[in-house]
Amino acid sequence: MHELVLKYPVASSCRIVTGNGVLDHFARFAGESMLMQTAVIITDSNVGSLYAGQVAGNLATAGISAEIITLPAGENSKNLESVTAVYRKLAELHADRGTEIIALGGGVIGDLAAFTASTYLRGLPLLHIPTSLLAQVDSSIGGKTGVNFDGLKNQIGTYYHAHLVVSDTAVLSTLPKIEYINGIAEIIKSASIADGELFSLLEGNIEAVLNRKKELLEEIIFRTIKIKGQLATGDERDASSRRLLNFGHTIGHGIESATGLSVRHGQAIAVGMIAAARIARKLEILGSNDLSRLKNLVSRAGLPLRIEGLNPEAVIDAIRYDKKIINGQVNFVLIKDLGNSFVSQEVTPEMIKTALLEENE
């Protein structure tokens, strides 16, 4: 078991517990972090049938009653209609500020439940049980909440922190492979920007990671959580250090938009990372050996190096509309070597296009 306490600039802190089987002790962790009497578990149709009973049962043994709200699984649920449905249910249940919201699921449920918790009665206490790899290493950390609006991703949202995150690596055994690989892409990202040792660990053990070997997974997940935690607490609102987490994401989001979200997030950011590394190579910031190592790891993880039939112009158009562009300048994350990154304003659309068109180097 590993543990970490993050201190945020705004007076709140978040305890993160991760390890194999930690969910069995969930009520104890929850009890240690706040006096809980009632809880509402928000989950989705896949995760709920697998784990909601276990969580509610665990709470019951500690004398805490829990209601379960289940939404259909998938990104389509991440909208204001679902939030309204949850608000109604909370009103029906007479939820008050002593009611704990427990987000049990992947990033979709995490973002939606956290948004709901942050707005209902101006804030209910929130606790995350992330169940997808992506949610464990990324979305449950850092306090961003959100829902999609009129086709725009995460257009409506708040910053709101859970006081406890319980990440059980055991639940990953039921995660579909494609979702698992999606999460690996974020782990490779974090290693590339901030932890060269983690990168080497992945390189040496990627097959075991793909086979979800327990001890290894615990170590890798904990290290990745630490990176996100440190970068996100360094700056809460998207400036400086937090920007480094966007490695591969400027192009990745462009690819997602240009392909009408038919390319999965992990695949899009994999291609985005490779293109960003090619740009860094061209600028003679990154060595050719590091570029090859990144390409190798990405492809051994089952992620693509390029997307067939991708139109780079459409990607660039989408990047121009990205909310991270300020005064026409792209804040683009480049790596200097594996484990070191910085934000550059030098990257032009032309460079992005060339990098996306390159097949071999």
Ligand X SMILES: NC(=O)c1ccc[n+]([C@@H]2O[C@H](COP(=O)([O-])OP(=O)(O)OC[C@H]3O[C@@H](n4cnc5c(N)ncnc54)[C@H](O)[C@@H]3O)[C@@H](O)[C@H]2O)c1
Considering the complex, state which of residue 106 and residue 312 has its C-beta at the smaller distance from ligand X.
106
* 107 binds ligand X, rule: CB under 6 A: yes
Separation in Å, CA 318 to CA 154, 251, 254, 278 = 16, 9, 5, 20
* 44 binds ligand X, rule: CB under 6 A: yes
What are the beta bridge partners of residue 334? Answer: 342
* 281 binds ligand X, rule: CB under 6 A: no
The one among 37, 76, 174, 262 contacting ligand X by CB under 6 A: 174
The one among 138, 218, 256, 290 contacting ligand X by CB under 6 A: 138
* 46 binds ligand X, rule: CB under 6 A: yes
Nearest distance from C-beta of residue 252 to ligand X, angstroms: 11
**Encoding tokens for residue 73?**
């699984």
Separation in Å, CA 193 to CA 142, 144, 186, 198, 246 = 17, 20, 11, 10, 9
**Encoding tokens for residue 254?**
């462009």
Nearest distance from C-beta of residue 48 to ligand X, angstroms: 9
Considering the complex, state which of residue 36 and residue 185 has its C-beta at the smaller distance from ligand X.
185
> Phi and psi (nearest 5°) for 323?
-70, -10
Nearest distance from C-beta of residue 322 to ligand X, angstroms: 14
Nearest distance from C-beta of residue 199 to ligand X, angstroms: 20
The one among 131, 169, 224, 250 contacting ligand X by CB under 6 A: 131
Close Cβ partners of 73 (under 8 Å, ≥ 6 residues apart): 44, 45, 46, 47, 108
Helix (H) or strand (E) holding 231: helix 214-234
Site for ligand X in 177-196 (CB under 6 A): 179, 182
The one among 6, 30, 47, 166 contacting ligand X by CB under 6 A: 47
Task: Please check whether residue 10 is in contact with residue 233, taking contact to mean a CB–CB distance below 8 angstroms.
Answer: no
Task: With CA atoms as reference, report the closest residue to 224 among 130, 300, 292, 161.
Answer: 130
Separation in Å, CA 54 to CA 27, 115, 128 = 11, 24, 15
* 55 binds ligand X, rule: CB under 6 A: no
Considering the complex, state which of residue 65 and residue 262 has its C-beta at the smaller distance from ligand X.
262
* 132 binds ligand X, rule: CB under 6 A: yes
Helix (H, G, I), strand (E, B) or coil at 282: helix
Nearest distance from C-beta of residue 353 to ligand X, angstroms: 26
The one among 171, 220, 221, 333 contacting ligand X by CB under 6 A: 171
Stretch that binds ligand X, among 15-23, 128-136, 272-280, 325-333 (CB under 6 A): 128-136
> In angstroms, rounded to a whole number, what is the distance separating the alpha carbons of residues 159 and 175?
27
Contact residues: ligand X, CB under 6 A: 44, 46-47, 50, 73-75, 78, 105-109, 111, 131-132, 134-135, 138-139, 142, 144, 154, 171-172, 174-175, 179, 182
